[in-house]
Structure 1
Amino acid sequence: MDERPVEVSVEFIQHISEQLNSISSRLLQRPQESEADCLYYRLESVVRVLRRLAAVVSLPREDEIFNVLYSSLEHLSQADLCVNFAERGPTMTVGKEQVQFLLEQHFKVHDIARMYGVSYSSIRRWMKRYKLSVRQTYSDISSEDFKSIINNFIGQCPNSGYRIVVGHLRSLGIRVARSRVLEMIRHVDPVGTVLRSLDLQLTQRRPYSVPGPLSLWHMDGNHKLVRWRIVVHGGIDGYSRKIMYLKANSNNKAASVLDCFLEAVHEHGLPHRNETATSQEKVFITRELSGCGAMCGVICNYYSAFRHLEELSLLDPDQDLHLICLHYIMLPRLNHHLQMFTRTWDNHSLSTEGNMSPSQLWLAGHVMNSQLFLHTEDHRTLGIDWDAPVAVPDPVQEVILPEPPLALQDIINSHLSLTIDPLMLQKCNTEADFNEIKSNLGDWISECGVPSIFSSTFQDVTSVFTQILKHYIYHRVASMVQQFKAGMNSCNLFWEKVATDWHEFLPIFTHTSVRLSRTVFRELFYVKWTAEGSNRREKEEDTMYQWECLLMSIQEGETTDITFEELLTFATGADAIPPLDFPHKCSIEFMIRKKAPADYHFLLLVLLCCTYRGELHRKTS
């Protein structure tokens, strides 16, 4: 193959010689650590140019030249690298551990370069010297284990999309390709994937600026479970959106909020300013956290569960005994799921922040703003806005939760603590936890249809749990269900008719009793009024006013002599609304006693329902 002669100018050779002489002279003078990166960059550029030149011309003593150059690069690569922050303070050393830590925290190379104020190529050179790569941070996890993790998480947080699932995986230290996560979500939750794609809710975000981490915390409380005397208190860092604390309490006292705040300060540091969610801050917290399906799932799951227990008449929020037991069992579980949500939220990507997570923003903010508040004149007044309006307590908006007697709490909790561990299932994370469960509950689990419990291993936890669940839902009552079906079929094969036309019998077999209230009574009856403007209409309206007062007094507990059930029994003969409702609409009619004295008018309020009739008398002047 013919090679074309290439002429190299004298100026080029002279320039390369000057560069090498300058680098060698600096190396002989034992340069400072801060110059190591600069020299490495200059020498690497010379090597790159010479390699391109060697591809087209033959250099004298080529192998010897490149061996010396590569040896020099290897020598420089062993030096500690430093970055000089001229505007931020003293020199900061960037070692292998720091770069490796940031890569493990899923930082992009561009983000690391921006944090340290250097170029992208510099970070790449450091990674090459330290033999680090982004590919090394990806997890080697089997498809079966990967499916199990995502399936369990979506089971606890059903409305979770791609970003939240990735946040949960990151919280577990798992990093996989985006395509693999999307494929597994579609496989595990196909219905939810379709529903989320049809129900896109785009939240309009407004500009929000905070100087740096720990400069401003927002605090608020969630009262969706206040019916059962549970309040969730939370705090979020305004700069990074990282959750500082999130905890459910059985009261709404300032002391409980202070305990949460002090724990957060001990873990994250003291903020320079705090804002309670009164107006704009409340909008900020609601916009950030309520947009997350996992948070909604955690609260709504418990809300639905508590409501279901009430419908089954297994939970009465007015009974102290019920609430003490509920708090003992459910508060640790609720806080466990809130902590899981916190880790998931802190590791999920934010589209408005370049897909960086709150944890990444928190770390990057500390690196780039480390000198932000070092020159404050008086730390005793740090974060105080003297021009801000003074907060005035509003007794109308204050939510006070009644507390059960302390003696009763101590007795019940001491008894429950000896027999029930509310976090037993959540604690089964290792082989030792599973062995402890077998030791304490092995006989009971065996009676639940799992005789192989004592030979099971930690890998069989999911299977054991499934068998126990099937036992309680189906096998435990299977014989009684079969007897019920046989008894129904003994009446001219009535059960077969039910199975054929099941939709007709569904209201009967799935009926749950409705708690009687003033609203239910008002919907149950309709009033037969006389013509408007007549003399009787005025007396009828006066009578109905007294009727409403009676219902209200029963509702508020002011009247203890009669209950809604007794009132319904008096009117209809039934103390509850039938599953198929009454055959006819209940009505209220008014009748005048004809033999009343001339100076008295007596109205009879007559409740007509089915074939039952009762009268309520009222004497008016």
Structure 2
Amino acid sequence: MADSLSSTSSSSDTDSDTHDGENRTCLRNKIIQKYFFKSYKYQEIIDILSQKHAINLSLRQLKRILINLNLKRRNKPESSLEDIFAAVLNVLDGGGGCCLGYKSMWLRLKSQYKLNVKRGTVLEILRIVDPEGIKSRSIHRLRRRVYSVPGPNFIWHLDGYEKLKPFKFPIHGCIDGYSKKIIWLRVASSNNDPNVVAYHYLNIVKKLGFIPRVIRSDCGTENVTIEVLQKALRYDHDDKLAGIKSYIKGKSTSNQRIESYWSQMRRSGVDYWISLFKDMRDLFIFNDADPMHVQCIRYCFGPLIEHEFRIIRREWNNHLIRRQKNVISPSGRPNHIFYCSSKYNVRDFKKKIDPDVIESLIKENTSRPVLVDPYFNELVQLLIPGVKPPTSVKEALKLYKLILKKIDSIN
């Protein structure tokens, strides 16, 4: 009897181990597919699997896995023109996609739509369906001064983005100075509240498990809590930039790395939203002085904008930065540069932090950011029971007008 029970238990353990092994393999394959479709090179996939996901593979193992998954890059036929055209039109109609250049469009088609397409094909299609966009993006930009830092996490640049603020969508972002990786890019009800801005900082520190050597910001009051937290967390470190030297303040226009990114971000889709909300204001559909209009535009368009920013951040962090003349900056993908600094012969300047300390600081010193007042959410559910979040700009505009009409009928 005992032998039978032992045999049953052993069999159950074996089945459980097999099931766990299959789950790990499935998860590993999904991660590999994600980076493959983002056009990472094989060695870059191996590096980031090791550094970020604790998965160690040789080049030979990776190639065998890709063969089993039927993933290849050479001699792979291009997707049908019909599918490519449909995807391009879908991106152009989806909001900020109308601001994308052909390289950014090519990357989105590969990563979001899993299409195998050449850049030249994308360019030719855009010349047909969006000739005005091609023309407007062909204006040359001014050259900027040389920027140089020694490695990832040496300095993070943070700032608020004001171009959508007149329409009640404050943006706050942070970028790593060396790798150009976007650390966070968030939409909230405010980018001037020190406790909300501090939440962005501590939340990402909790996720990453480290803080940068230095933080650079402007002199705005919204940064006072982050300044205190950064200096306090760096107080016991023994390097030359520990303590009060770990935070730098200056003019917003001199915060070069993040200011440079804002112009890139506007061309990646934000310009569309600015134009849309300006039109709504000019047509008296939106009144920024009316609290109900403010809550309504956030309720209807907020989820779409948040989704757009997640795509913008993800695409930027995975895009390929090409080598440039007279620029002291690494070429590669921001994510790969950030996580795999040894491949670029530079040092990672991160400082490890106790996650329990960060958790207590989040509870004591921050306010969780919200975009829409909870009471307005309840009001909408009472006015339109079972209402679903809009999935397109047309749906959002229709819902926006409907909610305001319902509110006006009550008044």
Alpha-carbon spacing, 1:166–1:323, altered in 2? closer, same or farther (3 Å):
same
Aligned residues: 302
Equivalent position of 1:361 in the other structure = 337
| Correspondence 1:43-58 to 2 at 5 A | none
| Correspondence 1:6-45 to 2 at 5 A | none
1:304 Cα deviation after fit: 2.6
Of 194, 207, 230 in structure 1, the residue corresponding to residue 169 of structure 2 is 230
Name the SS of the counterpart of 2:151 in structure 1: coil
Name the SS of the counterpart of 1:345 in structure 2: helix
Equivalent position of 1:244 in the other structure = 183
Equivalent position of 1:211 in the other structure = 151
Name the SS of the counterpart of 2:39 in structure 1: coil
Q: How far apart, CA to CA, are the structure 2 residues paired with 1:149 and 1:308?
A: 27
Equivalent position of 2:303 in the other structure = 332
Q: Does 1:307 align with 2:307?
A: no
Alpha-carbon spacing, 1:99–1:227, altered in 2? closer, same or farther (3 Å):
closer
Greater RCO between the two (CA within 8 Å, min separation 6)?
A: 2
Q: How far apart, CA to CA, are the structure 2 residues paired with 1:151 and 1:271?
A: 41
Equivalent position of 2:294 in the other structure = 323
Of 281, 284, 298 in structure 1, the residue corresponding to residue 257 of structure 2 is 284
1:189 Cα deviation after fit: 1.9
Q: How far apart, CA to CA, are the structure 2 residues paired with 1:139 and 1:357?
A: 26
CA RMSD in angstroms, aligned pairs only: 4.5
Q: Does 1:141 align with 2:101?
A: no
Equivalent position of 1:423 in the other structure = 390
Unpaired runs of 5+ residues, structure 2, are 1-27, 51-57, 219-249, 355-370, 402-411
1:233 Cα deviation after fit: 1.0
On the 8 A contact 2:38/2:107 being kept in 1, the answer is: no
Alpha-carbon spacing, 1:154–1:348, altered in 2? closer, same or farther (3 Å):
farther
Partner amino acid, structure 1, of 2:148: Y
Unpaired runs of 5+ residues, structure 1, are 1-94, 117-122, 381-402, 427-464, 473-621
Partner amino acid, structure 2, of 1:365: S
| Correspondence 1:358-437 to 2 at 5 A | 358-365=334-341, 372=348, 409=376, 412-415=379-382, 418=385, 420-425=387-392
Name the SS of the counterpart of 1:291 in structure 2: helix
Q: Does 1:190 align with 2:128?
A: no
Of residues 173-182 and 417-426 in structure 1, the stretch that sits farther from structure 2 once superposed is 417-426
Q: How far apart, CA to CA, are the structure 1 residues paired with 2:44 and 2:374?
A: 56
Of 101, 104, 107 in structure 2, the residue corresponding to residue 167 of structure 1 is 107
- Structure 1 residues 491-535: Cα deviation after superposition (integer angstroms, max 9, x where no partner): xxxxxxxxxxxxxxxxxxxxxxxxxxxxxxxxxxxxxxxxxxxxx
On the 8 A contact 1:233/1:246 being kept in 2, the answer is: yes
Q: How far apart, CA to CA, are the structure 2 residues paired with 1:96 and 1:312?
A: 50
On the 8 A contact 1:223/1:232 being kept in 2, the answer is: yes
Name the SS of the counterpart of 1:221 in structure 2: strand
Give me the identity figure in percent: 24
Partner amino acid, structure 1, of 2:39: H
1:191 Cα deviation after fit: 3.1
Alpha-carbon spacing, 1:205–1:99, altered in 2? closer, same or farther (3 Å):
farther
- Structure 1 residues 347-393: Cα deviation after superposition (integer angstroms, max 9, x where no partner): 3332346752323323433766898469x7x968xxxxxxxxxxxxx
Equivalent position of 1:48 in the other structure = none
1:210 Cα deviation after fit: 3.8
Alpha-carbon spacing, 1:147–1:109, altered in 2? closer, same or farther (3 Å):
same
Q: How far apart, CA to CA, are the structure 1 residues paired with 2:208 and 2:353?
A: 18
Q: How far apart, CA to CA, are the structure 2 residues paired with 1:292 and 1:410?
A: 30
Alpha-carbon spacing, 1:125–1:170, altered in 2? closer, same or farther (3 Å):
same
On the 8 A contact 2:337/2:344 being kept in 1, the answer is: no
Structure 1 length normalisation: TM-score?
Answer: 0.41
Q: How far apart, CA to CA, are the structure 1 residues paired with 2:167 and 2:127?
A: 36
Alpha-carbon spacing, 1:142–1:373, altered in 2? closer, same or farther (3 Å):
same
Equivalent position of 2:20 in the other structure = none
Alpha-carbon spacing, 1:207–1:217, altered in 2? closer, same or farther (3 Å):
closer
Q: How far apart, CA to CA, are the structure 1 residues paired with 2:206 and 2:87?
A: 32
Alpha-carbon spacing, 1:294–1:149, altered in 2? closer, same or farther (3 Å):
farther
Q: How far apart, CA to CA, are the structure 1 residues paired with 2:140 and 2:296?
A: 39
